[in-house]
Amino acid sequence: MAEGSTLTEAPRVLRVALLGGGTVGSQVARILLDDAEALAARAGARLELVGIAVRNVDAPRDVELPRELYTTDAESLVASADLVIELMGGIEPARTHIIAALRRGASVVTGNKALLAQDGATLFDEADAHGAELNFEAAVAGAIPIIRPIRESLSGDRITRVLGIVNGTTNFILDAMDTTGAQFEDVLAEAQRLGYAEADPTADVEGLDAAAKAAILASLAFHTRVTLEDVRCEGITGVTASDIAAAQDAGMTIKLLAIAELVPAGAAGDGVSVRVHPTLLPAKHPLAAVRGAYNAVFVEAENAGALMFYGAGAGGAPTASAIMGDVVTTARRIIAGSPGRAGTTRTLPIVGLESVTTSYSIGLEVADEPGVLSRVAQVFADHGVSIETMRQKLEQKIGRGEVLPAAEEGAHGAGRAELRFVTHRASEAALAATVADIKNLDVVESVTSVLRVEGI
Amino acid sequence: MAEGSTLTEAPRVLRVALLGGGTVGSQVARILLDDAEALAARAGARLELVGIAVRNVDAPRDVELPRELYTTDAESLVASADLVIELMGGIEPARTHIIAALRRGASVVTGNKALLAQDGATLFDEADAHGAELNFEAAVAGAIPIIRPIRESLSGDRITRVLGIVNGTTNFILDAMDTTGAQFEDVLAEAQRLGYAEADPTADVEGLDAAAKAAILASLAFHTRVTLEDVRCEGITGVTASDIAAAQDAGMTIKLLAIAELVPAGAAGDGVSVRVHPTLLPAKHPLAAVRGAYNAVFVEAENAGALMFYGAGAGGAPTASAIMGDVVTTARRIIAGSPGRAGTTRTLPIVGLESVTTSYSIGLEVADEPGVLSRVAQVFADHGVSIETMRQKLEQKIGRGEVLPAAEEGAHGAGRAELRFVTHRASEAALAATVADIKNLDVVESVTSVLRVEGI
């Protein structure tokens, strides 16, 4: 049998190097200094902060820390450390420092989602080759423990799907649109004023931040390699107040979801689809209740069923909590004499949206005259797309939320009407062909929105 | 620096013994046999099921497994295993077998909450002394990863409070009462018919099952030792349809919560309060949305803020998922050459309810005459208990949900009225004295309910 080794009980010291002194870095340093005693008890070793590498030693900081800790010489700091915490962000020089640490056998804790989404595989290989650990709980959904549950707690199960609200800015904006009925641009301006959105909000509102996290989640959930380039990404800039109102009428809400799922890939067996897009969810879905800037990740596994992990997705202290959990856990393993390993990976094919079926919500502006619904419905039927529900709203006649059950009945005026269809699951190809033909109908003024639906 | 060891890449075999062949055991065995290849890739070793110890080899089973795996000789099975999965439940002989395994240096995975709540400390000491691991994710909240997040992900933070819906039967019953307005007894009978409640429901409805889980959660969250005897426990048998209706009127819902919190214990510093009781929660609290037999654990930590973990709390497959996550993770560490350690514990004083302050909801049946509210309010004031809200309902005059804003106004008849108070935080002693004095008022017919409130 495997021989258990008795643990060393002598007090140990681990030299910890911190790269980056920004919002999260300052909080991590504060915790390392202030909670030294409790951390030592939990880690089995004193965690000695030997330095903080920054670009400018004299820059003003949020948190007051001993000045002598700061250095611009990240390379020397890494060369002297047992454990490196990388919080510089971006690709270089973070990547070079992480690889230097791993090659020395020093373990690394990072929250660098961009680097992991672009080049995680290289880093994991370096860690495995040199008996070091690479941990990154803070890279996805801030303080929410999601990486460790997927890597460890669910390692004996088969995850089939991950749906995540992993960007607080976009959830704040969509939630505010949902609550106030305001347009995207107005809510974005307010979010910027309140500090929930950056001056340049592109990475958030175009879904790029969520896409990096989707790549990381998909890699872990399906034990395969997924990079940012594999993620099909659509942001929330096209979501209108009218889309939100129509969703509410239908008992739904719109969320920007990072979706990773196992899908059949023909004879090859399983494939993986990874995508980020605005998605309609029924109001009773657990993710629909995630308000404001909160994050949540919903995981479906063969045996465990549905699980959800909820909490603060960003902020200095919450992210520092995730970093410190990794630091203590990594320290325990270093002290115990051997870091963990992630398990082998396979390479599953990445499947494009053309092979994925989802339900769709389609909004049309049509002439308010008899026979319109029948003609539109015929187009759906021609493409084999089956309709689950249809709602009609006569413009400027009845208020928002009041819906006529049957489009063909009642009096018709000279005005226009709005039709909202929700389809059964259909392929993107069938849907695109349906929408193209609907646009060509003379009774259709415009296709006002096409949104995907999950959870029905 | 700590020397990283290069991992052995040769194929390894770990001998796995399973104690218990019931609902969960059968599912665990099925997964070990059916998913052997995927598990080997993730664990870094083939997990060979060497036998299943049961009381009766010939008993009928849910899952068809090779008959030669069954044995009644648990002792020999344990003596030959690298990893033991204990799913017998109860105290003995489970305790003896677990200790025998740990003393041989074999790691153990168990879902035995009763044993852990009664004697976990002894088992952890044995594991540490012999370099073995003891993992128990399945013991609390079934498939939901909560033990590992608390032990590892939050090990660098300071947890201040844990609120858990950790018993599916009672949540099913309370949710059904909330939805249908029915009385406890009727809903319990229906839950028994549907298989959500046992023929003898005592352990569930009296809160004992939740109390064992509360003890385990408190021990982990606060790095201290808490046993079942330390948990103040009250079940849901006293919750009436009228309590539920009054909660709804106030925008709240009633849940059976396992509560563990750090509280000041005078000069000694921190103390711990652990309790299980029916609790009013505002409808917008994340735990209020946990319906049916689902479980969820809400954790508050100093840096992470509020986190919630949600999923299926029971059932063969979900519980087997939690067991298998522990099995794979433990196997990885055995292969890597060293099991983990839990970190040192301290011993915090257990604080009785007399030192804990909470808000309370108090229902009174009073004479419907002028001056009553003022006399009742004076009693609260005399004991320094401050009132947050008061609602009055005149019986048989107005329907449920219609509330008069001021008890002193309007016409009064010869009937009775119901008053519902919610207090600000008060000690149990002050509350008990208040209730005793209110009962003595001649205008008070009865105190219909006293419930604690969280999350406001």
Kindly provide the ipTM of the predicted complex, given to two decimals. Answer: 0.84
Using a pLDDT cut of 70, give the percent of chain B over it. Answer: 91
The reported pLDDT for the residue numbered B255 is 96
Q: Which domain range does residue B413 map to?
A: 356-453
> At B416, is the secondary structure helix, strand, or coil?
strand
CATH number for position B54: 3.40.50.720
- The answer to the question of whether B26 is labelled as a binding residue is yes
CATH number for position B175: 3.30.360.10
On whether both A156 and A300 belong to a single domain, the answer is yes
Longest dimension (CA), chain A: 87
CATH number for position B443: 3.30.70.260
In chain B the first and final C-alpha atoms are separated, in Å, by 49
Tell me whether residues B324 and A303 touch, CB distance under 8 A. yes
The reported pLDDT for the residue numbered B351 is 79
| Residues of A known to be catalytic | 213
Chain Cα centroid distance, residue A263: 19
Pairing of strands B83-86, B232-233: unpaired
Q: Could you read off the pLDDT of A154-178 as tens digits, one per residue?
A: 999 999 999 999 999 999 999 999 9
The shortest CB-CB distance from A305 to any of B307, B312, B324 is to B312
- Statement: residue B341 has pLDDT above 60: no
The reported pLDDT for the residue numbered B410 is 45
Give the separation between CA A109 and CA A99, rounded to whole angstroms: 12
- Residues B233, B208: contact at Cβ < 8 Å? yes
Residue B268 class from Cβ within 10 Å (0-12 exposed, 13-18 middle, 19+ buried)?
exposed
Tell me whether residues A157 and B325 touch, CB distance under 8 A. yes
The reported pLDDT for the residue numbered B163 is 97
* Of the residues A336, A369, A401, the one at which a domain ends: A336
On whether both A162 and A271 belong to a single domain, the answer is yes
The shortest CB-CB distance from A334 to any of B2, B130, B322 is to B2
Q: Could you read off the pLDDT of A38-51 as tens digits, one per residue?
A: 999 889 899 999 99
The shortest CB-CB distance from A153 to any of B137, B155, B305 is to B137
- Kindly report the nearest CA distance between residue B108 and chain A, in angstroms: 13
On whether both A107 and A208 belong to a single domain, the answer is no
Please indicate, yes or no, if residue A125 is contained in any of the structural domains. Answer: yes
Mutate to test the interface with A, among B321, B333, B344, B348 (most CBs of A within 10 A): B321
Tell me whether residues A156 and B39 touch, CB distance under 8 A. yes
- Statement: residue B314 has pLDDT above 80: yes
Q: Could you read off the pLDDT of B98-125 as tens digits, one per residue?
A: 999 999 999 999 999 999 999 999 999 9
Q: Could you read off the pLDDT of A193-245 as tens digits, one per residue?
A: 998 999 999 999 999 999 999 999 999 999 888 999 999 999 999 999 999 99
Q: What is the mean pLDDT of residues A299-317?
A: 93
Tell me whether residues A309 and B308 touch, CB distance under 8 A. yes
- Statement: residue B405 has pLDDT above 50: no
On whether both A165 and A295 belong to a single domain, the answer is yes
On whether both B160 and B262 belong to a single domain, the answer is yes
Residues in chain A with CB shorter than 8 Å from the CB of B221 are none
Mutate to test the interface with A, among B338, B344, B346 (most CBs of A within 10 A): B338
On whether both A196 and A246 belong to a single domain, the answer is yes
- Residues A342, A222: contact at Cβ < 8 Å? no
Least confident of A332-341, B160-169, B187-196, B409-418: B409-418
Please indicate, yes or no, if residue A124 is contained in any of the structural domains. Answer: yes
Please indicate, yes or no, if residue B4 is contained in any of the structural domains. Answer: no
Residues in chain B with CB shorter than 8 Å from the CB of A303 are 27, 31, 143, 317-318, 320-321, 324
On whether both A296 and A162 belong to a single domain, the answer is yes
Pairing of strands A426-427, A416-423: unpaired
On whether both B129 and B241 belong to a single domain, the answer is no
Query: Whose structure tokens read 């949902």?
Result: A178
Question: How would you list the strands of the sheet with B83-86, edge to edge?
Answer: B70-71, B46-53, B13-19, B83-86, B107-110, B134-135
Tell me whether residues B1 and A104 touch, CB distance under 8 A. yes
Please indicate, yes or no, if residue B344 is contained in any of the structural domains. Answer: no
Q: What is the domain count for chain A? A: 3
Q: What is the mean pLDDT of residues B245-256?
A: 91
Q: What is the mean pLDDT of residues B215-232?
A: 92
How many CB atoms neighbour CB B368 within 10 A? 20
Using a pLDDT cut of 70, give the percent of chain A over it. Answer: 91
Q: What is the mean pLDDT of residues B239-261?
A: 93
- Statement: residue A412 has pLDDT above 70: no
On whether both A376 and A391 belong to a single domain, the answer is yes
On whether both A33 and A76 belong to a single domain, the answer is yes
Q: Could you read off the pLDDT of A438-450 as tens digits, one per residue?
A: 999 999 999 988 9
Q: Could you read off the pLDDT of B161-177 as tens digits, one per residue?
A: 999 999 999 999 999 99
Tell me whether residues B44 and A328 touch, CB distance under 8 A. no
Query: Whose structure tokens read 């230097």?
Result: A100
Query: Whose structure tokens read 């030294």?
Result: A36
On whether both B165 and B48 belong to a single domain, the answer is no
Please indicate, yes or no, if residue B138 is contained in any of the structural domains. Answer: yes
Q: Hey, what are B204's tokens?
A: 């569930």
Confidence of residue B277 (pLDDT cuts 50, 70, 90): very high
Nearest C-alpha in A relative to B144? A307
Nearest C-alpha in A relative to B296? A308
Pairing of strands A134-135, B357-367: unpaired
The reported pLDDT for the residue numbered B343 is 52
* Of the residues A280, A303, A336, the one at which a domain ends: A336
Please indicate, yes or no, if residue A8 is contained in any of the structural domains. Answer: no
Please indicate, yes or no, if residue A29 is contained in any of the structural domains. Answer: yes
- The answer to the question of whether B113 is labelled as a binding residue is yes
- Residues B173, B206: contact at Cβ < 8 Å? no
Nearest Cα residue to B96 out of B123, B118, B72, B117: B123
On whether both B167 and B287 belong to a single domain, the answer is yes
The reported pLDDT for the residue numbered B400 is 42
Residues in chain A with CB shorter than 8 Å from the CB of B129 are 6
- Check residues B147 and A355 and name the one with the higher pLDDT: B147
The reported pLDDT for the residue numbered A53 is 97
Please indicate, yes or no, if residue A2 is contained in any of the structural domains. Answer: no
Residues in chain A with CB shorter than 8 Å from the CB of B102 are none
- The answer to the question of whether B21 is labelled as a binding residue is yes
